[in-house]
Amino acid sequence: MSYPGATAARSLRRLRVGGPRPLSAYGRKISVRFCSSGMTLDNINRAAVDRIIRVDHAGEYGANRIYAGQMAVLGRTSVGPVIQKMWDQEKDHLKKFNELMVAFRVRPTVLMPFWNVMGFALGAGTALLGKAGAMACTVAVEESIAHHYNNQIRTLMEEEPEKYQELLQVIRKFRDEELEHHDIGLEHDAELISLLTQRSPSPARPGLCLTTEALTFQGKCDFKIGHHPKMMPG
């Protein structure tokens, strides 16, 4: 058996027997026992969990590509460290969902090639408009991702929240960090570019609309989009 295959097998074996399995969250590690909350491969709502993990993995992958594009253009400017800090958090998010994809045997979305190309192009394209353009992109995308997280929280709470408490913990933490990115964007002139593009639409606007619509399409069959993310549960 190859090394990656052996690692995946050990992870699944620990999950079945209820052994402690570290959840890597941003800046810390959380030790959990899945069986303490009844969350095993056999007694969860596999359809709901599969959809949640697949949608979130795609969203975090797309966000990583967007920040990569922004850093390619603005990495050496004064806003570079701000973008890098947000990107580092997104890398942690993606790493966690990569682990969950293996643990719960979830297949990635067929839109991965789209996110790879479109995400980077959107990040670079909005960054060419300057700091305000990049931050306007951040605000729009992070708000969409936070909406999905909130609807997923609602879905799991309507199931059996005690059973899904570890997954809820991950989603809530990542949701809060996405909202921090949203607010950072507003603090760095994102609203300014919104006002400008209302009078003179930017060439990046079609890409931004397409990407946020694709995020909605990715999860619309699973989760209903709600109101402002800060008004949601958790």
Q: What is the pLDDT of residues 212-231, one digit of tens each?
A: 555 555 544 443 333 344 44
Percent of the chain beyond pLDDT 90? 45
Q: What is the pLDDT of residues 155-196, one digit of tens each?
A: 999 988 888 989 999 999 999 999 999 999 999 887 766 544
Q: What is the pLDDT of residues 121-159, one digit of tens each?
A: 999 999 998 999 899 999 988 888 898 899 999 999 998
In the prediction, which pLDDT does 44 show? 83
In the prediction, which pLDDT does 160 show? 82
Confidence of residue 20 (pLDDT cuts 50, 70, 90): very low
Q: Distance from first CA to last CA of the chain, Å, rounded?
A: 41
User: Which of 23-37, 99-113, 185-199 holds the top average pLDDT?
Assistant: 99-113
pLDDT: is 161 or 95 the higher one?
Answer: 95
In the prediction, which pLDDT does 193 show? 61
Distance of CA 43 to CAs 16, 34, 190, Å? 11, 11, 44
pLDDT: is 234 or 148 the higher one?
Answer: 148
Residue 99, marked binder: no
Section 16-28 average pLDDT: 38
In the prediction, which pLDDT does 61 show? 94
Kindly tell me if the per-residue pLDDT of 2 is higher than 80. no
Section 76-83 average pLDDT: 96
E strands, 66-124, where? none
Section 2-17 average pLDDT: 46
Kindly tell me if the per-residue pLDDT of 204 is higher than 50. no
Residue 60, marked binder: yes
User: For residue 57, how many other CB atoms are within 10 A of its CB?
Assistant: 23
SS3 25: strand
Kindly tell me if the per-residue pLDDT of 105 is higher than 80. yes
Distance of CA 26 to CAs 70, 160, 177, Å? 21, 26, 9
In the prediction, which pLDDT does 114 show? 87
Section 189-214 average pLDDT: 53
Residue 159, marked binder: no
Task: Confirm whether pTM is higher than 0.85.
Answer: no
Residue 187, marked binder: no
Residue 213, marked binder: no
Residue 142, marked binder: yes
Nearest to 161 by CA among 57, 48, 64: 48
